[in-house]
Amino acid sequence: MTAATDATHAANAAVLGDLPFGDRTELEQARLGRLAPLPAVVTTAAGRPVWDSHRFDFVEGEAPSTVNPSLWRQEELNGVGGLFEVVDGIYQVRGLDLSNISFVRGRTGWIVLDPLITAEVAAAALDLVNEHVERRPVTAVVYSHSHADHFGGVRGVCSPEDVAAGRVRIVAPEGFTFEAVSENVMAGNAMTRRASYMYGNLLPTSPTGQVGAGLGKTTSTGTFGLLRPTDLIGPDDTSIVLDGVELRTLYTPDTEAPAEFVFLLPAWRALWTAEVVTHVQHNLYTLRGAQVRDALGWAKAIDTMLARFGHDTDLVFASHHWPTLGHEESLALLRSQRDTYRYLHDETLRLANHGETMLEIAETLELPPALSRTWSSRGYYGSVNHNVKAIYQRYLGFFDGNPANLHPHPPVEAARRYVAYMGGADAILERARLDHEAGDDRWVAEVVKHVVFADPGNQAARNLLADALTQLGYQAESGPWRNFYLTGAQELRDGVTVLPTPTTSSPDVIAAMPTDLILDYLAIRLKHPEAADLAGTVSLVLTDVDERHLLELSNGVLHHRTLAPDEEMTADATVTTTRAWLDDLLAMDDPAPAMATGDGDLRIEGDPAPLLALFGLLDEFPFWFDIVTP
């Protein structure tokens, strides 16, 4: 076990003096209404564990020296799990995944809000509410937004047959399906690999390892799925009735997700804020990688929630964390969250208009005292530092205006030059060890990373960099920052940990993708330099969905467009098949042989050579690529 250094002790002790740790109000609210504990372990049908409810039981009492005490407090709150009665008729299961699942009593059954990431944990949550409250069928499912932890477990609470027969309605925000599948597919491989760092999935759970993610504990590892919505909430919609329950809705796109909505349950004066308002300062840019979010739009959405629903709200509950009870308390949470995102946005741009750069603003900007001492504005998931960078990037991009930074060398080439300039690896490590002993680990990480990239086999450099990252992790208030630092340190010491590869490109996701998006994904996977000499056009006819697409190979890229019903197009070849056959093809490791031989659902007329060549040039993306080494 790596111990905390004197510098880490001092940094964490300073946090204890800065924040109101004596206020235990939120811990009391988190424990209210507990009806039943979580199941100890949730497994697949084959017996593989997908969730261990006791793995974080060590997070209680006084914070150890190896964890930022503010993060420790947050993770103690996140660890209060079980089935809870929010009020009579609204129930939550918390602590069974990264997110919460909520159940609202309808006239005849359960309305399920955000069915977690995987089916097994969602089914276990449904079993809890059926056993300890009332056994009822599921009559509706609500997806608040397009992130995987809010829809992936849907098959645990209902089946495709239930939806097709009209027994279950699925409600989602307008644009949900496109955003859900595009985020998880187009850059999904890199995003998911980085998520293994962000959520600490490769770390042991301990005071020197994973303690949680700030937004929740961690992610379940069961069966991921997606069923298409039957009802969509758009900008003009203000209410919907599900199983006799009115939801007064507000469409809030481009806040925490590109497609998202919140609603008031007027019968309970309960505002469900999805992930727009939680008990953290959220990510404007997520470290796993995603499009930068709109801080200004986010603040304005919360302001609209206050104006439209504030008068009628006596409690706030969300897809993460614990409820906030009381009218004034609920409004205070909404206002502080609104003010946090607006302050970050406006102050970043004010300083940018003075000519300050992204790194300069991120280093100096602080929230005002009233917000910085509000627990829900603390950076447990996002942080002031990387949210400022996100705002700057959204408006001004990667370039800070200094021409010296316009065309820097790539990491390995720059590292070799830095090491040579600084007198070689041995000289750098000698000085860096002194800086590490002095507690200047942020600088040690900046310097020694160049030695590692110049010579990945230099184990002394790897170990010193790992030591520096470990201490930075111990000091981090943000769950993702801690997990990134400690996972990087582990990888430097032990190499890449190869586990069964996770994927969000499941058959359900592929089936939900519009054909245009599938063709965009194929275009990304094409090995473009090798396809530079391919040329030709193909008409793709999908008989079961009545679609026609024109594909063109030109200069190493694949273009496509949808053909109008009356549009005639002469192509080098015509491929007639079904969308179902295309979905099966995309699930294959090597689709080229299937394209060459075909079957009863495939007919090719004309010259298929360019198309067959295309399927022979589709790239496979390795999941366990290096991150802290070149």
Residue 48's region, left for phi above 0, alpha for psi from -120 to 50, else beta, is beta
Backbone dihedral angles phi then psi of residue 11, each to the nearest 5 degrees: -65, -45
Q: Domains, the chain, ranges and CATH?
A: 26-377 (3.60.15.30), 405-494 (1.25.40.880), 514-615 (3.30.1050.10)
- Sheet (strand 270-272) strand order: 239-242, 245-251, 261-265, 270-272, 315-317, 324-325
**Alpha-carbon span 282 to 284, nearest angstrom:** 7
Q: Within 13 A of 580's CA, how many CA atoms are on the CB side?
A: 5
**Of 56, 218, 71, 198, the residue nearest 485 (C-alpha):** 198
Ramachandran class of 423: left when φ > 0, alpha when ψ lies in -120 to 50, beta otherwise: left
Burial annotation 284-323 (CB, 10 A radius, 16+ → b, else e): bbbbbbbebbbbbebbbbbbbbbebbbeebbbbbbbbbbb
Would the CA dihedral through 298, 303, 306, 309 be positive or negative? negative
pLDDT of residue 41: 97
User: How far is the CA of 391 from the CAs of 351, 354, 552, in angstroms?
Assistant: 12, 15, 38
Pairwise CA distance, residues 236 & 164, whole Å: 26
pLDDT of residue 510: 79
The pLDDT of residue 611 is: 77
The continuous run of DSSP H or E covering 91 comes out as strand 90-94
The predicted-structure confidence for 184-223, as pLDDT tens digits, reads as follows 777 778 888 898 889 998 999 999 999 999 999 999 999 9
What is the pLDDT at residue 186? 76
Look at residue 505 in the predicted model and tell me its pLDDT: 62
CA–CA separation, 299 and 613 (whole Å): 50
Backbone angles phi, psi at 144, to 5 degrees: -70, -35
CA 355 → CA 318, 341, 360, 361, 414, distances in Å? Answer: 39, 22, 10, 10, 27
- Residue 163 has a pLDDT of 97
Give the C-alpha distances (Å, rounded to integers) separating 242 from 58, 90, 93, 108, 265.
Answer: 41, 14, 21, 10, 11
Average pLDDT by stretches of 10, the chain with 630 residues: 92 94 92 97 95 96 96 97 98 97 98 97 98 98 95 96 97 94 78 88 94 95 93 97 98 96 98 98 92 94 97 98 97 97 96 94 96 96 96 93 90 94 95 96 96 96 96 96 95 86 68 85 88 89 91 90 83 89 74 60 83 82 85
Q: Which residue in 142, 107, 137, 138 sits closest to 244, CA to CA?
A: 107
Return the residue matching tokens 């069923």.
Answer: 227
Predicted TM-score (pTM) of this structure: 0.91
